[in-house]
Structure formats: structure tokens, C-alpha cells
Structure 1
Amino acid sequence: MSPRRSDSRDRMISSAAALLAEQGAGATSIDRVLAHSGAPRGSVYHHFPDGRTQLIDEAVAFAGDVMAARIAAAARAGDPVAAIDAFFALWRDRLSGSDFRSGCPVVAAAVAADEEGPRWADSAAAVFARWQDAFGDLLVAGGLPQPRARRLASFIIGAIEGAVVLCRAERSLAPLDAAAAEIHDLLVHALADRTGPGTGAGEAPRP
């Protein structure tokens, strides 16, 4: 039984996100996405009338949705430090599990934005803004004022993304572990100043 067209579309988007993470936008061609996903060639322009540009754009949004859902899941415990520790741990698992081949597909699209895909940078910026809002809301719920929460959220995203690049270049988890430890300590102190002793904020173990 052949897959439904909607299945083909979803598989192509997921495959494009995986290829972006591992090989970058330049290597994420329609042919490679079809080979990776097993989708029929005839489905490409049915689902993506703007071709490769649209496919990569939707892969960026998909990757953003996946990570946003994971941030939300980690946040349900109610401890912002533990939630952000968990986000670092997720990236640790992804890097080690892929032998340092898999990075962030959103970054891959952002740095490749050009005349072929000028909206990729805008799409990446929208994803980063969404993650920043999620982390910011988490820190506000932990007791930080909104302006500082947003600054810290932006800093956390930058630290994670930069550490992932360093880890892939060095084939080592040390940059990510260093960033995780420093941000853990920063958040423990920032939240303790707002919440006072005995609240449990910052009690999560370091990654």
C-alpha cells in the first residue's frame, strides 16, 4: 500500500530538517530529500510548488516546532533551571548520538540565506524569537522581571547554538558542558536573588 500524500509531505519536511542539521542548506537538494525520505518524486511540486526554497523554509518551521514542544515539556516540571538543564542535555544527546554530525537546522538555514532563499533568515529569526519567548516566559514564572528574563533567554539560545558549533568543530562535548555549567550557575543565582531561600529554584543537578 502506497503512503498517503500527506505522509509523503511530512516525511520530506522531516528529512529536509535532518539533512539541514547534518549537511547544511547547500547540500539539502530535492534529490537528497527524496532519497532520504523515500517520497515519490511526483509529490515534490504538488506539496511544495515553490520547490526547494519552500521545502527548506517549512523544514525550518518544523524544527522550530519540535524544539518548542521539547522546551514546553521540560517546563512542565515548574523548575526553570531544571528545564534549561534538560534542554542542554537534549543537545548533548543529539551531538553524541550523531557522532557530532547533527547540528541545528535553523542555524544552517539562517547562515545560508541568499538570493535563492531570502526568507530563510526571516524564518530562522521567527523560530529563535519563539524559543526566546518560551525561555523568557519560563524565567518570568520563576520570578525574574520580564526585561531580564528576555535578555537571559536570548543569551541562553546564543550560548547553546554557539556551543553546538564548537562541539561539532572540536568533536567534543566540552564546549556544551562548559556553557551548561555556567548558565546553570548564573540562573541559580539570578533566581535565588528573586525568590529567596527555600523555594527549590535552582536545585536541579548540573548537566
Structure 2
Amino acid sequence: MTKHTARDQLVAGAADMLGRRGLRASSIRELAKHSGAPLGSTYHYFPGGKTQVAVEAVEFADTLTVRALSEGLAAGPVDGLRRFIAMWRKIVVDSEFRAGCPVLAVSVEEPDDDDAPLRAAARAFDHWTTLLAESLAAHGATQEAAQQTATLIVASIEGTVAMCRAHRSTTPLDRTADALEDVVRSIIA
């Protein structure tokens, strides 16, 4: 059993807050309030301020996503895709369509004076596409098709999560899931 520290709770809270509000609308003060932590502890744990919190929140989201993808991909690319989609479905449904992806949230906002959160987001997207591409290639896709399809999957799901939030429905995710599964099956056949 993993013991979660106050710092871990702050990072998880920051990831949730970024996925709901975005980078610009999130402050250290709001993070402390959102996480139920004393304001002073945020400055203690994150002397680099908002930039450090954002980077660590993106890395946290990346770690969770890599874990879910890896578990699904162990059974093959179709199962990996299904696991990726199921993870996002749970996030949007459990949050009543208020939460999205903290990695995407950081990616679409212009960085203030430090682009470290943007670089962390790029690394996260690279991790996800690499895992997917490796699985697709291992199951018969050409390297080019594997890279293209992995990028398509990540881009499609990220955009579809935003659509689900706007529509307050998982219908866009259902449609995208079916189309992506067809694509995956066609390149590994």
C-alpha cells in the first residue's frame, strides 16, 4: 500500500485543478484551498512556485496515464486504446464533465516567463505516443503507421475529452473510440 504524503496530495490536487481551470486560472492560494492544505505548506513544498507545481502536476498526470496505458497495452494495442479511453471516460464522468486533461490545459496556454510546464506537457505527450507506437509496431504495424496512429490516438482523445466537457456527454468519446478501434485493427491486421 502506497502512503500518500501531504505533498503528494498537493500535486494530485494541482493536476485536478489544472484539468478543471487551466494554468492561468490556478494560483498557489487556490491550490492550497482546493487541496485542503495550509498555504505555507505549498511554499514549503514548492519553492519554485506556480511553475514548479504545474510541472509536477503534469508529471503526475503523465505517470498515471503511462501506468494505465502500459497495463492495457500489455494485452495489445486494442486493449491499450480501450484502457486509455476508459480512463478519460471515468475522469469526465466522475467530475460531472468539469475536469479534463491537465497536460492539455498546460499545452494550450502561453507560458508566463518559464516554459517548463509546456516542456513537461510535451514530454508527457511523447511518452503516450511512444508507448502506443511501440505496441502497434510490435503487433504488426509499420513504424510509420504506428507513429501516425499513435499521434492520431492521443490527439483525438485529448480533443474528444474537451468535446465531452462542452457537450456534457460521453457521446463524442464513444464515437471516437469506435473510429480509433477500427483504425488500430486495420493497421495491425
Question: 1:153 and 1:23 mapped to 2: Cα distance?
Answer: 27
**Aligned pair 1:183/2:165, yes or no?**
no
Q: Spell out, residue by residue over 1:89-128, the C-alpha distance to the aligned partner (whole angstroms, 9 max, x if none).
A: 2212221221111100001111123224422211111110
- Structure 1 unaligned blocks of 5 or more: 193-207
Structure-2 residue corresponding to 1:49: 47
**1:44 Cα deviation (Å)?**
2.3
**1:65 Cα deviation (Å)?**
0.8
**Alignment of structure 1 residues 123-134 onto 2, 5 Å:** 123-134=120-131
Structure-2 residue corresponding to 1:76: 74
Q: Which runs of 4+ in 1 moved over 3 A?
A: none
Number of residue pairs matched by the alignment: 187
Structure 1 range deviating more: 98-107 or 137-146: 137-146
Q: Give, as a single letter, the amino acid of the residue that structure 1 aligns with 2:13.
A: S
**Aligned pair 1:95/2:92, yes or no?**
yes
Question: 2:121 and 2:15 mapped to 1: Cα distance?
Answer: 12
Partner secondary structure for residue 144 of structure 1: coil
Q: Spell out, residue by residue over 1:2-36, the C-alpha distance to the aligned partner (whole angstroms, 9 max, x if none).
A: xx9x8222111110000011111122211111112
**Alignment of structure 1 residues 1-207 onto 2, 5 Å:** 7-77=5-75, 79-192=76-189
Is contact 2:13–2:35 with CA below 8 Å preserved after alignment?
yes
Question: 1:144 and 1:183 mapped to 2: Cα distance?
Answer: 15
**1:81 Cα deviation (Å)?**
0.9
Question: 1:171 and 1:116 mapped to 2: Cα distance?
Answer: 34
Provide the alpha-carbon RMSD of the alignment.
1.7
Question: 1:183 and 1:43 mapped to 2: Cα distance?
Answer: 43
Is contact 1:12–1:34 with CA below 8 Å preserved after alignment?
yes
Question: 1:11 and 1:113 mapped to 2: Cα distance?
Answer: 26
Is contact 1:18–1:105 with CA below 8 Å preserved after alignment?
yes
Instruction: Give percent identity, aligned residues only.
Output: 37
Q: Give, as a single letter, the amino acid of the residue that structure 2 aligns with 1:169.
A: A
Structure-2 residue corresponding to 1:203: none
Structure 1 range deviating more: 34-43 or 24-33: 34-43
Length-normalised TM-score, structure 2: 0.92
Q: Spell out, residue by residue over 1:22-81, the C-alpha distance to the aligned partner (whole angstroms, 9 max, x if none).
A: 11112221111111222232222322111111111111111111101110111122x211
Length-normalised TM-score, structure 1: 0.85
